[in-house]
């Protein structure tokens, strides 16, 4: 078993979906990722919060034995995102993004984090992703996420960090935007040509398309969930389940390892979307995961 | 092995896609269906064509031992459809529909067709689907397709025929339109509540969601095809592979039979989209199918 270092946002979200709304709920990629990954392996968080960040929200991660010694608390307000979902819930419409303390975030890893073997660079500015990776001495396996905003505004820095990671986890529309391809099947090999050994294209309700240079495609659906409440954080939860699965194995991941890790990501994400914020994810147990895995293997015709 | 009766269109299509265009190419649901299904089991066609319908186009089906004694040739022109695809190829934009000889189609089954055990009612007016089904003495297994036009204009007749079939094959957006559901997962049980034992929701590049009352969901992706040329007929080809698979088994299909039949449908459809019209499908051999099945089982992590 290896430790996982994650850098990403700890945030408050205002979210409106056809199922209802929350005004200031716990969110942020590092929170979703850590809650999922810590079900499999130890997690270390690098991030920044403001004075308003709730002690109980820190406690939630501590209760999962997440190491928060890389979490800075600084003057000002915590990152805030407001968004809404309509119709089929596949696309979030951003209404407000307040970077707040994230604007001057200058990640500096505690000495004891620098030996981390598994590193996940969640969706933050590519220069910050690079700054974190530069501080890790000998990473065994590095993954990253990104988004349309960085593809549009920081392409050069993005390509630089892309060339240094083992796997990219990215949304389908963003994979198309990054490569100019018309669909995920054409985009995937263009992304691995930029450096990574493999790419996971996240397709929302349609699941994922995993592609590795050595093994080609593995494509599987999302878990069918009849009453989706809030898709926020599903991608970060997927990444947490994916990395947790691999760090638990501990070895340098093979393509087959990553393929199975995508299933763990899929299972974990299926909990997140069943309630607002991290509510459902925070309550998930290993038994819940095993039960859902049984259901999922039936859905994909493996059982 | 049982015989399959199909009623549907034999047509000429004008199609424009990002890969090019054809002006008057062989098309129609009954053609795609029959070419696919006849690779597995004997097929009987009920349909109508005009004086302009090419002898060589009839010959293509005859070369697959398709029984055309239910094909009428009448005065006038063959059904013509013109459409185009843009961007991700998921949605056809209809530019022209000329019903021609189809307008007064009054299907009358040859006596020897009336003992058919497997019946597929392709996407035609629901009253015509009913008229055909009424002429079959003791069908063992009946499937149907439909489209937005009939859902909008002939809802009552559509619900009547729906209550008499075993399985519905339908596009995702049309499943949502028929049920008012926001997605395929919510739509599927609403469709089986209308009568059918099972439903196959066709999701284009994302594959299919199969749902049966007894076994719940089986969801799998489409075969990843990098250079899709023309998606026209993919759904009818899927239906042909699906029915061919089941008629070859011959027994009253179980949910597990239908699940595996969906994979045959997926494999066959993956050939159709690789060229315009029926060009690729017409050349498919059993060896091609076996080879593609090996690739597909790898993609879905079963091999």
From first to last of its 303 residues, chain A has per-residue pLDDT tens of 899 999 999 999 999 999 999 999 999 999 999 999 999 999 999 999 999 999 999 999 999 999 999 999 999 999 999 999 987 787 889 999 999 999 999 999 999 999 999 999 999 999 999 999 999 999 999 999 999 999 999 999 999 999 999 999 999 999 999 999 999 999 999 999 999 999 999 999 999 999 999 999 999 999 999 989 999 999 999 999 999 999 999 999 999 999 999 999 999 999 999 999 999 999 999 999 999 999 999 999 987
pLDDT value for A86: 86
Buried residues in A142-179 as b, exposed as e (16+ CB within 10 A): bbbbbeeebbeebeebbeebbebbbbbbbbbbbbbbbb
Distance CA A271, CA A274 (A): 5
Distance CA B199, CA B145 (A): 10
State how far Cα B32 lies from the chain centre: 7
For residue A189, count other CB atoms closer than 10 A to its CB. 16
Picking from A221, A231, A274 by the largest number of B CB atoms within 10 A of its own CB, the best residue to mutate is: A221
Spell out, as residue ranges, where chain B has pLDDT lower than 70.
Answer: none
SS3 A1: coil
Domains and CATH numbers, chain A: 4-299 (3.40.1190.20)
pLDDT value for A12: 98
C-alpha separations of B66 from A128, A131, B34, B254 in Å? 64, 66, 7, 26
For residue range B62-77, what is the model confidence (pLDDT) as tens digits?
999 999 999 999 999 9
Q: Which residue has the tokens 């890389």?
A: A70
What's this model's pTM, rounded to 2 decimal places? 0.95
- Interchain pair B221, A216: CB under 8 A: no
| Closest residue to B300, CB basis, from A206, A219, A260 | A219
For residue range B145-201, what is the model confidence (pLDDT) as tens digits?
999 999 999 999 999 999 999 999 999 999 999 999 999 999 999 999 999 999 999
How many residue pairs bridge chain A and chain B with CB atoms within 8 Å of each other?
Answer: 87
- Interchain pair A203, B205: CB under 8 A: no
Tell whether A183 lies on the interface with B, counting CB pairs under 8 A: yes
Dihedral (CA of A209, A210, A211, A215) sign: negative
Picking from A207, A301, A302, A303 by the largest number of B CB atoms within 10 A of its own CB, the best residue to mutate is: A301
Picking from A86, A206, A303 by the largest number of B CB atoms within 10 A of its own CB, the best residue to mutate is: A206
- Interchain pair B182, A89: CB under 8 A: yes
pLDDT value for B87: 77
pLDDT value for B109: 97
pLDDT value for B89: 82
pLDDT value for B303: 79
pLDDT value for A108: 94
Q: Which residues of B touch A228 (CB under 8 A)?
A: 183
Which H or E element spans position A70? strand A67-73
């Amino acid at each position: 078993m290896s430790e996982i270092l994650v850098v990403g946002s700890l945030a408050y979200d205002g979210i409106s979906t056809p199922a209802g709304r929350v005004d200031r709920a716990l969110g942020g990629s590092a929170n979703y990722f850590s809650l999922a990954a810590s079900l499999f392996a130890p997690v270390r968080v690098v991030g920044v919060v403001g004075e308003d960040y709730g002690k109980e929200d820190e406690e939630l991660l501590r209760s999962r034995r997440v190491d928060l010694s890389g979490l800075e608390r600084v003057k000002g307000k915590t990152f805030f995102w407001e968004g809404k979902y309509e119709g089929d819930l596949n696309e979030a419409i951003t209404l407000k993004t307040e970077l707040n303390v994230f604007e001057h975030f200058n990640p500096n890893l505690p000495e004891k984090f620098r030996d981390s073997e598994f590193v996940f660079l969640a969706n933050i500015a590519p220069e910050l992703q690079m700054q974190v990776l530069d501080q890790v001495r000998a990473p065994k396996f590095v993954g990253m996420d990104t988004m349309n905003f960085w593809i549009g505004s920081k392409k050069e820095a993005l390509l630089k960090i892309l060339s240094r990671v083992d796997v990219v986890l990215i949304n389908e529309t963003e994979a198309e935007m990054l490569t100019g391809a018309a669909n995920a099947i054409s985009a995937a090999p263009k992304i691995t040509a930029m450096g990574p050994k493999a790419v996971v294209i996240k397709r929302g309700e349609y699941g994922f398309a995993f592609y590795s240079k050595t093994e080609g495609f593995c494509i599987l659906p999302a878990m069918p969930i009849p009453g989706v409440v809030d898709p926020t954080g599903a991608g970060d939860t997927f990444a947490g389940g994916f990395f947790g699965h691999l760090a638990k194995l501990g070895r340098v991941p093979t393509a087959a390892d990553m393929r199975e890790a995508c299933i763990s990501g899929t299972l974990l994400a299926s909990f997140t979307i069943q309630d607002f914020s991290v509510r459902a994810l925070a309550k998930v147990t290993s038994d819940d995961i095993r039960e859902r895995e049984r259901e999922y293997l039936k859905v994909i015709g493996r059982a």
